[in-house]
Amino acid sequence: MNEPGTAQWRRTEASRLIAFGRAAALADGGFGWLDANGDIDETHACPLYLNSRMTYVFALAHLKGEPGAESLAASGLHALVSRYADHENGGWFSSVDLSGQVVDDTKTNYAHAHTLLAAASAVAAGIPSANAALAAATATIERRFWSDAEGCALESWNADFTELEPYRGANSNMHSVEAYLAAGDVTRDPVWHVRAASIADRLINGQARGHSWRVPEHYDENWKPRPDYNLDRRDDTFRPYGTTPGHSFEWARLLLSLEAAQAAPEAWLLEAATALFDMAGADAWSRDGHPGPIYTVDADGQPVVTTRLHWVACEAVLAADALHRRTGEERFAAAATRWWGEINRFFVDGQGGSWWHELTPDMTPGASTWSGKPDLYHAYQAVLLPSLPLSPTAATALARVSPA
């Protein structure tokens, strides 16, 4: 039977997601922001992180044999040079409009981490020009974002890299872990896995452990937690107030990938992955009489923003799947089965295509935090990763099975 979450169901969803996402391609390269109907939203800018995420997804789709995915991934790489690159100061601008004019010239670790992930994955997929993109991404991150002194990544700079933001973020560092694992797999340079382990040790073993296995998201430049950060912007898309259970699920998955990538992993990785998963599940699910995972809670686990975002559900099922495969405990498989059912019932848009990115607390489509359906990244990983090993990362694993 084609039950939600089964291999057959996930293959069907993967094809549907790719079919929907093709419409985001721009004539001059890169990707636009798709609205709920799958049309490019001409009022919305084109952020670098989204271009890189779509490039990453189409690189994976090419490895899966999707026709035309190679050219779409190549288009995303071309946009890095033609639309986003700062040829004077280095790195990539955060956002451009549909005409290619820069609308946000800051340089952020969050977007650069996704660009590293895309470039590394495109190299594994054999996409033309990917090696140049990977060389540029690794050089920029090593020069501007990675801090040996802090053992983590810096957050953001102004356009010419003269002003460093006095903020450190768990979110962008979490995505650095993902990107560094991919870069290490592709380049075979062990420094990237070492850096990923350093970030995880500081933010999870050093911070989340001491905060009841909730991840403090916001810090000052000395890595002192800022629990009141964005108190007046509680539903911020990338830096919401409080703590984010979806990130705890995501961290749990990444810790297991980090463990699987190491010859002699530390015991705390599995311990932490399990604890993060359990706390996030208790904090997030069905807190207000409705199904689905809420967006944020405060330091004591009390609900703050009860909007349901698709990416939180995606990371929850991936964490459950990874923990089940790692431990064999049936409680994780049962959680994944239950949550796949909710994803299929509430988030999958069987008529309009793709998945609803946001639901209101009563589980109907909303747009207070996310507009449209611009992003394939979380949903495509959700339907792909359960069929791949915990290590190496997705593109390298797929390339070993069926080289591009």
Query: Is 357 designated active site?
Result: no
- State the CB neighbour count (10 A cutoff) for residue 341: 14
**Does residue 94 come out as left (phi exceeding 0), alpha (psi in the -120 to 50 range) or beta?**
alpha
Give the CA-trace dihedral at 106, 107, 109, 111, to 10 degrees.
80
DSSP class of 52: H
Phi, psi of 103 (to 5 degrees): -115, -15
Cβ 21 vs Cβ 357: under 8 Å: no
Active site residue 247: yes
Q: Which of 247, 310, 324, 357 is catalytic?
A: 247
Task: Output the six-digit token pair for 54.
Answer: 């779509």
What is the DSSP secondary-structure string of 149-195?
TTTEE--EE-TTS--B-S-EEHHHHHHHHHHHHHHHHHH--THHHHH
What is the distance between the alpha carbons of residues 82 and 93, in angstroms, rounded to a whole number? 11
Query: Measured in Å, how far apart are the chain's first and last C-alpha atoms?
Result: 31
The HSE-up count of residue 63 (CA atoms within 13 Å, CB side) is: 24
Q: What is the DSSP string of 183-210?
A: HHHHH--THHHHHHHHHHIIIIITTGGG
Q: State the catalytic residues.
A: 247, 378
